[in-house]
Amino acid sequence: MKLLLLPVVLLLFCIEVNANTAYEIPRSAVIELKEQSSGRVYPLFIQLPASYAKQPDKVYPVIYLTDAHYSFPLVSGATRFPMNSGVMQQAIIVAVSYEQGSEGAGSRIRDYTPSKAKAWRQETGNASGHMAFIRDTVFPFVEQNYRASNTNRTFVGNSLGGLFGAYILFTEPALFTNYILGSPSVWFDNNKILAASVVKPKAATRVYISVGEYETPAYGEGQDMLAGAKQLTDKILALDSGNIDLRFSVVPSASHATAFPTTAIQGLDWIYGIKKQ
């Protein structure tokens, strides 16, 4: 009986020890950057590709994410196998988190919205300031400290993050080479983004817009995100710019809460996937 019980005891001991060890995303770090104009501090979550140390001369594309606490582990996990197995280009992942010490909702509502909406009790309308922080502080830090491309950057945002990405695309499109806009909150401030003036990209720009099939009031959503995404797509297509390559996708049977994981991996596969001939 003792020989039979011993493996069980050892197994229980191992489970107990491992349960107290936190899992960490490989090759990742968290750094903090201060926005000089406001004094706000924003954590950045950064993950380097698996080949980074072995290829010291290689410069990598960079995937920039909003809503870091949600998007960083999701995109890191979803791209791990495709990147490591050679069916997707390896890239550095950088996720910009919310202002340190703030509630996440307040920080994202302030920083991802392009206009000051009088009907909102929370502060809104700092998209231009947050875009400047990314352009003037985040980009220089990443590109000076890592082998990060300044000509192959991808923006990934969802919901208000998708609205923020649309604002950047319309205002300073050259900041990113590619845009993945998941379920963009076009409805914010009475669809004001649809009336915004647009700067046409001067360089080739890819735009991937995706939304869940069930993101409509008919399925219990507060806003018609499906209609908004289609209207945003139409606005971009109406630019008649030969530099924009746009793809619109509807995620089957997905709601606002569940569409983004598919949006992120399908959009990144469209941009960085290595297609077999």
Asked if 139 contacts 47 with a C-beta cutoff of 8 angstroms, the reply is: no
Asked if 186 contacts 228 with a C-beta cutoff of 8 angstroms, the reply is: yes
pLDDT 10s digits, 79-106 = 999 999 999 999 999 999 999 998 889 9
Which pLDDT score is estimated for 171? 98
Q: Residue 237: which residues within 8 A CB-CB, separation 6 or more?
A: 246
For 37-72, give one letter per residue: b (16+ CB within 10 A) or e.
eeebebbbbbbbbeebeeeeeeebbbbbbbbbebbb
Which pLDDT score is estimated for 14? 42
* Structure tokens given for 129: 């300031």
Asked if 199 contacts 170 with a C-beta cutoff of 8 angstroms, the reply is: yes
Which pLDDT score is estimated for 271? 98
Average pLDDT of 62-81? 97
Whether the per-residue pLDDT at 214 is higher than 60: the answer is yes
**Greater pLDDT, 20 or 42:** 42
Average pLDDT of 47-72? 97
Whether the per-residue pLDDT at 251 is higher than 50: the answer is yes
Residue from 54, 44, 47, 43 nearest 77 by CA: 47
Compute the C-alpha angle 68/185/115, nearest 5°: 95
pLDDT 10s digits, 17-40 = 556 788 899 999 999 999 999 999
Dist. CA 64–CA 67, nearest whole Å: 10
Which pLDDT score is estimated for 183? 98
Domain residue ranges in the chain: 30-272
Which pLDDT score is estimated for 103? 81
Asked if 248 contacts 233 with a C-beta cutoff of 8 angstroms, the reply is: yes
Which pLDDT score is estimated for 21? 83
Asked if 161 contacts 186 with a C-beta cutoff of 8 angstroms, the reply is: no
Topology of domain 30-272, per CATH?
A: Rossmann fold (3.40.50)
